[in-house]
Amino acid sequence: GESVGLHLPTLSVQEGDNSIINCAYSNSASDYFIWYKQESGKGPQFIIDIRSNMDKRQGQRVTVLLNKTVKHLSLQIAATQPGDSAVYFCAETSGYSTLTFGKGTMLLVSP
């Protein structure tokens, strides 16, 4: 597959560990946030979203935490699997504006 980010921050974990990927955003007006997963050779895939009136949202094996005070977003992946290896992007928006993506973090999961 194609590499999408040779210069990205990288998080390396062992299979079965919990992973935490962080994202800082700059626009205090942003009220909707999404985490995307991008595997090699593919487009970004929606994982989970959260609105600014919430501080936590859980999905299947994933949890997103939002701290509006410090403009910080995190994605927690429980029991990380080799198939979770990918680049993860946070994206933000406000009102009807388009999504603005962060730089991304590469997650490498070792068996």
Partner 1 sequence: DSGVTQTPKHLITATGQRVTLRCSPRSGDLSVYWYQQSLDQGLQFLIQYYNGEERAKGNILERFSAQQFPDLHSELNLSSLELGDSALYFCASSVDPASYGYTFGSGTRLTVV
Rounded to whole angstroms, how far apart are CA atoms 70 and 79?
27
When asked if residue 102 is in the footprint of partner 1 (CB under 8 A), the reply is yes
When asked if residue 2 is in the footprint of partner 1 (CB under 8 A), the reply is yes
State the minimum distance, in angstroms, from the CB of residue 18 to partner 1.
25
Q: Based on CB atoms, which residue is closest to partner 1, 8 or 13?
A: 8
When asked if residue 7 is in the footprint of partner 1 (CB under 8 A), the reply is yes
When asked if residue 73 is in the footprint of partner 1 (CB under 8 A), the reply is no
Closest C-alpha to 28, from 94, 73, 104, 101: 94
Phi, psi (rounded to 5 degrees) for 74: -135, 150
Binding mask 29-68 for partner 1 (x = CB under 8 A): ---x-x-x----xxxxxx--x-------------------
Alpha carbon of residue 15 to chain centroid: 18
β-bridge pairing 105-110 and 10-14: parallel
When asked if residue 69 is in the footprint of partner 1 (CB under 8 A), the reply is no
Q: How many residues would you count in the chain? A: 111
Q: Based on CB atoms, which residue is closest to partner 1, 65 or 99?
A: 99
82: DSSP letter: G
When asked if residue 1 is in the footprint of partner 1 (CB under 8 A), the reply is no
